[in-house]
Structure 1
Amino acid sequence: MDIFATDSTGKKYNIEIQRANKEAGAKRARYNSSLIDANILSVGYDADELTETYVIFITENDVFGKNKLIYHIDRYIKETEELFHDGSHIIYVNATYNDDSALGKLMHDFKCSNPDDMNYQILAKTARYYKEDKEGISAMCKAVEDLVEDLITDEKKRMALRLLEKQIASIEEIAECADLPIEVVENLVLEKNSSK
């Protein structure tokens, strides 16, 4: 799950739940942070207009292995050990850590499969809706079906692009082999040619 949000003060947040440690590595955090910055400013604007940003990884495992609930990463000046204050923040939340703090209880609820065992009623209510209510179950099934369809379509497009790269078949043949509409393959050709 990825969330991109802006709060009432204009701060930007990229929040991701990561199950695999490699997907929550330092370079991934840096990459996400750079994407936020690259998309905040329009051409011609001053870099001083950059707002404060947060990349937050909620990780299934303790990525750093230091048995902390939360890890804050900010840049600092080595020689003076003072914060650099560039407005860029990276936070890791360790979902394996259990304590009675508000965040510890929230991590418990994230891992909890039984809504009756959750600390926060708003999460319990939502979990019950998607697990027990017919309308909620239907909505969840539809969301999963849409996700699967998107993944399948993305894979078909990757296959079509590989065939286009090899230049061994016509657009019509590629569309047939990849089980894609001809218009989609034609758009892939246009995108490929415009990126050159």
Structure 2
Amino acid sequence: MDEKTAERMDAIRKFTLMDDTFMTQVFSGDLECTQELLSIILKRQDLKVMKSVTQLTIGNLFGRSVRLDIYANDAAGKQYDIEVQQEDRGAVPERARLNSALLDSRLTTAGEAYTELPETYIIFITANDVLKEGLPVYTIERTVQETGKSFGDRAHIIYVNGSYRGSDEIGQLMHDFNCGDYRKMQNPKIAARVRYFKEEAEGVATMCKTMQVIVDREREDAEIEKGKRIALNLWNGGEHDLDKIARTTELTLEQVREAITEMRSA
């Protein structure tokens, strides 16, 4: 085993489900585990997941795009975005608002009645108690302040406190999300999936490939960010020909527009 492979194997052994690299691999395409996760968080036993994909990018022509950790839908047509966040700043309310808005934009088609917009859930599993009230789960709904009644827009935001360790299902789930040893995990379905990627040859090989893809993507993202900084400098220097900026920076027109929009909103 060469040094690079040994380093990756050591990283895989240390991974927990709070690492989005590992979490997205464990849940990617696994309907049963995704259904188990949602059923526990939402306390629903009637939920049937029909689709589960990870690292889904939703583009935004006029501003910031987002990459969803897990995107899923169920047999009733409800849509889910599940995010794992190690840092509090990655789970601020405005981030949840953006994810909700862009998910809606992806689900909306021209000419469709507003009432046909599907019900959505934005779920953040956070390493810390971001909302700082000591609760295991926080459910955020729009309400009419004067009456206290639900606004009924069917858009839900949920924060799961990853530091919670109660004896209930949420506490057990958060224990498992922070556990690096599948033998000590309490949910058998999730533990079996974690074991596959940590112990079985095929699963370990898949994880190694995924890690390389992520390294390559991070390198590409760094190059894009560098190009955006150059684009901003050109724009601030008086060059307002977007096509020329795109050619100079080797960015797409959309990326150039994103850079300029981010500057204006900063």
| TM-score bucket of the superposed structures, by smaller chain | 0.7 to 0.9
CA contact (8 A) 2:228 2:256 kept: no
Residue 136 of structure 1 aligns to a residue whose secondary structure is helix
Give the paired residue count. Answer: 183
Residue 163 of structure 2 is aligned to residue 96 of structure 1 = yes
Task: Give the Å deviation of 1:132.
Answer: 2.0
The counterpart of 2:79, out of the listed 4, 9, 12, is 12
The reply on whether 1:132 has 2:199 as its aligned counterpart is yes
What TM-score comes out, normalization by structure 2 length? 0.62
How much does 1:45 deviate?
A: 1.9
1:44–1:97 CA distance, 2 compared to 1 (3 A): same
CA displacement at 1:116 relative to structure 2: 1.1
Q: Which amino acid in 2 is paired with 1:56?
A: I
| 2:86 partner amino acid | R
Q: Which amino acid aligns with 1:129?
A: Y
* Counterpart for residue 112 of structure 1: 179
Q: Rg larger in 1 or in 2?
A: 1
Aligned counterparts of 2:169 and 2:184: Cα–Cα separation in 1: 15
**2:105 aligned with 1:38, yes or no?**
yes
Give me the identity figure in percent: 39
Q: Which of the residues 112, 129, 137 maps onto 1:62?
A: 129
**Structure 1 stretches lacking a partner, 5+ long:** 176-184
Give the TM-score normalised by the residue count of structure 1.
0.83
Give 1:166 deviation, angstroms: 5.2
Deviation string for 1:11-68 (max 9, x for gaps)?
1111100111111111111111111111111122221211111100001100111111
Measured in 2, the distance between the counterparts of 1:101 and 1:193 equals 49
Does the Cα contact within 8 Å between 2:231 and 2:256 map onto a contact in 1? no
Secondary structure, aligned partner of 2:82: strand
Gaps of 5+ in 2: 1-19, 21-68, 235-243, 261-266
| Pair 1:146-2:213 in alignment | yes
Counterpart secondary structure, 2:158: strand
Distance (Å, rounded) in 2 between the aligned partners of 1:105 and 1:85: 32
Inter-CA distance 152–9: structure 2 relative to 1 (3 Å threshold):
same
SS at match of 1:77: coil
Relative contact order, higher structure (CA 8 A, sep 6+):
2
Alignment partner, residue 178 of structure 1: none
Distance in structure 2 (CA, Å) of the matches to 1:27 and 1:164:
26
Aligned to 2:148: 81
User: Which amino acid letter does the alignment assign opposite residue 219 of structure 2?
Assistant: I
| Cα distance in structure 1, aligned partners of 2:87 and 2:255 | 32
Shift, 1:157, TM fit: 2.9
What is the rounded CA distance, in whole Å, between the counterparts of 1:87 and 1:36 in structure 2?
Answer: 13
